[in-house]
Amino acid sequence: MTFENFDRRRVNLPLEEQKNLEWAFNEARRFAEAPKDWIVFLGFNGCGKTHLAAAIGNYQLQKGRPVFFKVVPDLLDYLRATFSPDSTVTYDEYFDKVRNAPLLILDDFGEQASTPWAQEKLYQVINYRYNAQLPTVITTCLALEDIETRIGSRLADNSMSSNVNIMAPDYRSDFAPSEEGKQQARRLRRRR
Ligand SMILES: Nc1ncnc2c1ncn2[C@@H]1O[C@H](COP(=O)(O)OP(=O)(O)OP(=O)(O)O)[C@@H](O)[C@H]1O
Ligand SMILES: [Mg+2]
């Protein structure tokens, strides 16, 4: 997932959505050039949030800069796993690595099980990076008001965080088979 293979026009979309997508792409590019503060991608499933977040990460890697990309539910699993006696890394080491990553990308925020422990850990990461003003990319399917208030209000603070609301519908459905295609597939199956 790179900027090069992101279709920022999606010609089949209404003009307003095309313009919005181009704007989202430009915001991601701008952030990738010089990561500063936070960028939060919001929108429905499949609109391109992870793609743009990963493109930012890949751009950084190309430039030889470090990136820490984690899907939030996986991040919490890793963190829990550090408590196991055979873990090679301690909880403190891992938590510190996440909190202090020069660029942290948190994908699928809000998809995690909301246990009090998980909520607390995420709040600690977010609050730490907010206070230290560390560059962070977040993607979420949730509206900010549906995220726990302590976290949601930090994500919504526009002195720190650019909110990029993507209006485009699911990209995956652009490739859903047409009625004609489905009929052809049925005919082929019958012949076999
Ligand atoms: N504008 C685009 N151009 C090219 N590929 C795209 C575009 N938008 C989305 N895709 C592709 O469609 C798939 C879904 O996109 P992506 O994973 O970025 O969606 P998402 O918004 O993160 O969805 P979810 O909320 O389900 O995680 C991916 O394979 C992605 O590469
Ligand atoms: Mg995603």
pLDDT (tens digit per residue) in 163-175? 999 999 999 887 6
d(CA 139, CA 48): 10
Q: Which ligand has an atom closest to residue 170 CA? A: 1
CA–chain centroid gap for 38, Å, is 12
Ligand 1, residues 20, 40, 44, 50: which to mutate, most atoms within 8 A of Cβ? 50
Confidence of residue 186 (pLDDT cuts 50, 70, 90): low
Q: Is residue 124's pLDDT more than 90?
A: yes
Indicate the domain borders of the chain: 15-191
Written as six digits, the tokens of 183 are 């009929």
10 lines ligand 1 (CB under 6 A): yes
What kind of architecture, by CATH, is found in domain 15-191?
A: 3-Layer(aba) Sandwich (3.40)
Contacting residues for 186 by C-beta, under 8 A, at least 6 apart: none
CA distance 173 to 176: 5
Please spell the DSSP secondary structure of 79-93, one letter per residue: HHHTTSTT-SS-HHH
Q: Is 168 in a helix, a strand, or coil? A: coil
Residue 179: its pLDDT value, please?
A: 56
User: Relative to the alpha carbon of 43, which ligand is closest?
Assistant: 1
What confidence tens digit (pLDDT) does each residue in 70-88 have? 999 999 999 988 888 888 8
